[in-house]
A and B are shown apart, each in its own frame.
Chain A
Amino acid sequence: MIRRIVVFGASFVGIGFLVLPVVAIFARVPPGRLVSQLGNGAVTDALRVSVETSAVAQALVLLVGTPTAVVLARRFPGRELLVALVELPLVLPPAVAGIGLFAAFGRFGLLHTSIPFTKLAVVFAVALVSGPLYVRAAIAAFEGVDENIVAASRTLGAGPTRTFFRVVLPLARAGLAAGAALALARGLGEFGATIMFAGSLRGVTETLPLAVYSEFNVNFDTALAISALLVALSAALLIALKWRPSLSISRFRFAASS
């Protein structure tokens, strides 16, 4: 009995702690004012920048990350080390990622580019932190594909490309989608590396999280409204992710019909 009380009590505290700050954002501003704040030019500009940069970063992450994951899902010497290196940006403090981006792509960095302070710089910062999240999930998804099915496809005469697109990709689809959604959500929230490497300029590099930060110093209500918008976007992504079961059913249909 006591044990049950302790367990339920702890879970109550845990859930409350995680949920309260998110709920409080909506409690502090009446919905009407929230919506009116979203019409604010600074907010619409930041939303546009966030959508544009996240879309490009996400496309890059999927196009480059998927083949990367295919390679890393194979067994070869040094694989663990390589995977660890690829996952490293995930656990690095974003400020370190920002310094790293300067060191690599700065004007005086290893590659001497003029990327800093441009929209592309935002894309780089976002891709650097969201990419590993996707690659990690994609490696797991490809590893989960039954090798017997792949072998059967090859035996039945399908080439490696056809097997990949018709068998491996559909089977790994649920895991890839989960990784993509998480990467997108994390990328939308990118702050530290962006503010360092891309700077903050309205309409160009000021994303929604950067706008929250700059508005906090100017107008707390606007900062709350942008925060609410980010919560809504992230929640939508996570909820879409939870509804994945329908997707895995269609996956079998997809695989069977092809």
Chain B
Amino acid sequence: MNVLLTIFAAASLTNVFPHIAPKEHYSFAGSNALAAQIQQGAPADVFASANTSIPFQLYDQGLVEKPVLFTRNQLVLIVPRSNPANIHSVADVAKPGVKLVVAATGVPVGDYTRTVLKNMNLGNALNNVVSNETDVREVLAKVALGEADAGFVYVTDARTVRGKVATIGIRWAAQPRVSYAVAVVSTSRHKAAARAWVKALLGKTAQAKLRAAGFLPVK
């Protein structure tokens, strides 16, 4: 018997998950939005979040089984290919007049972005924010479109729009610890299949595909 699972997954997994398991039903969005939907009783079988705090919070509420880490990521600054604001370093995003697009607080990448800026003493760059987006792909789209001057996304997102954006690396010391956790949703009616799916995600084949997409191994 082959059940199709409903997978709620962080927006940054939009390209790689269907590559790992093409047939499942996916809902990609900000991890916090997906968590809010699960709290309202959304019929998901698996929840994959771009941080660990959100799934562990759901775990404490009894809404998901114990989350496990399955991959890691890094942040990167992206600018449109045409680089209208002439940004060549992360510090440049704090220049006056830069149209910076970030994800909102509470969205994992939004929180990571604020950590990076804090680590680099660039807190004032937040004054340049013109929009707080609901997930990383919205940030990506607005920069790739050239409408925003710069944005912080995951390394893996930047790779999906290579021709349209240029990337500026963030040094190791300033990087937040970006860990993804996955959990079986407590109300799932296909728990055995969902657990098997999670196990497969930790397996060799899936991990190799994550690696190929630019994600980092857990250890």
Contacts and interface: CB of A to CB of B under 8 A. Distances in A.
Interface string A190-218: 00000100111110111000000110111
B147 A106 contact: yes
A33 interface: no
B114 interface: no
Interface residues of B, number: 24
Contacts of B133: 199-200
B130 interface: yes
A206 B132 CA distance: 9
A219 to B, nearest CB: 10
Contacts of B71: none
Given A199-B101, A217-B30, A217-B32, A107 B147 contact: yes
Contacts of A202: 132
A102 B145 contact: yes
User: Which interface class (under 10, 10 to 19, 20 to 34, 35 or more) fits A?
Assistant: 20 to 34
Contact of B104 (A118, A200, A205, A220): A200
Interface string B98-137: 0101001011000000000000000000000111111000
Interface string A168-210: 0000000000000000000000000001001111101110000
A65 interface: no
A184 B68 CA distance: 49
A117 B134 contact: no
A216 B134 CA distance: 11
B50 to A, nearest CB: 14
B33 interface: yes
A117 B30 contact: no
Interface in A98-141: 102, 106-108, 116-118
B21 interface: no
Contact of B132 (A107, A118, A214): A214
A213 B32 contact: no
B63 interface: no
Contact of A199 (B32, B36, B131): B131
B84 to A, nearest CB: 7
Interface in A57-116: 102, 106-108, 116
Contacts of A206: 132
18 contacts: A106-B145, A107-B84, A107-B146, A108-B145, A117-B147, A195-B134, A199-B142, A200-B133, A201-B129, A201-B130, A201-B131, A206-B132, A213-B134, A217-B30, A217-B32, A217-B33, A217-B35, A217-B106
